[in-house]
Homo-oligomer: A and B are copies of this chain.
Amino acid sequence: MRQDLKSKATKELIIQKSFEIFYEKGYNSTNIPDIMKETNLSKGAFYHHFKNKCDIGKIVINKIIKKRIYDGFISPLKDYENKNIPELILYVFTQRIKNYSEKEKQLGCPANNLINEIGCTQENDFRVLLSGLISDWNESLTKVIKEGVRKKELHSNINPKAISTLLIGSFEGIRGIRKVYDDDVIFQDYISSIKYYIKSIST
């Protein structure tokens, strides 16, 4: 195999497996041997491609988690031109929850898990990356809410940024709390409230 392709493939394998184990065990409880067992490669391979655990942590955030938030929450907001904004927002925040697998329900949101576990304890780099994820999401959602106001589908006296913050915060909070339950009651109540809430800010 060509060396550059092989190197790239190995790197991506290690990054992907790292993400999965961080997601399942948390960042601090994951160790390099754990990761490399999953890749069927040796520790030498890891340290050939990455500096250390911190290094892979940041890369996982930038390559995997960032993309997940983009694909799941930002991208679906993009083509808001033709759609009813309140419906679009409701869809994004409830349809995903309805489609979560058992594993995703138990393990919560990868981004939120990292935010809560290492948001403030690890070096500052992590904090900046993680806040960047939320800020990107928040800005995209705020833009859509503003567009909803412009189109008179949302009340004009609302605070778009504040609403965006509440939507994102409540979503992440609920996904966290769901982790300690073994049923979907909390999700159902959340969806019920979000429906009501979005209705209340709609024209």
Chain A interface residues toward B at CB < 8 A: 24-26, 28-29, 106-108, 112-113, 115-121, 127-128, 130-131, 134, 158-159, 161-166, 168-174, 176-177, 179-182, 186, 188-190, 192-194, 196-197, 200-201
Looking at chain A's contact residues, the main secondary structure is helix
State A19–B137 Cα separation when bound (angstroms). 33
State A196–B166 Cα separation when bound (angstroms). 11
Contact between chains at B115 and A176 (CB < 8 Å): yes
Contact between chains at A177 and B29 (CB < 8 Å): no
Q: Which residues of B contact A194 (CB under 8 A)?
A: 166
Contact between chains at B176 and A116 (CB < 8 Å): yes
Contact between chains at B162 and A192 (CB < 8 Å): yes
Q: Which residues of B contact A196 (CB under 8 A)?
A: 158-159, 162, 201
Q: Which residues of B contact A174 (CB under 8 A)?
A: 165-166, 169, 173
A29 touches which of B28, B116, B127, B165 (Cβ 8 Å): B28
State A177–B174 Cα separation when bound (angstroms). 13
Q: Which residues of B contact A25 (CB under 8 A)?
A: 121
State A141–B160 Cα separation when bound (angstroms). 27
A112 touches which of B28, B116, B158 (Cβ 8 Å): B116
Contact between chains at B165 and A120 (CB < 8 Å): no
State A25–B194 Cα separation when bound (angstroms). 34
Q: Which residues of B contact A130 (CB under 8 A)?
A: 180
Closest to A166 in B: B193
Given A121-B25, A173-B171, A196-B158, are A165 and B180 neighbors across the interface (CB < 8 Å)?
A: no
A26 touches which of B121, B166, B171, B177 (Cβ 8 Å): B121
Given A116-B116, A117-B116, are A189 and B170 neighbors across the interface (CB < 8 Å)?
A: no
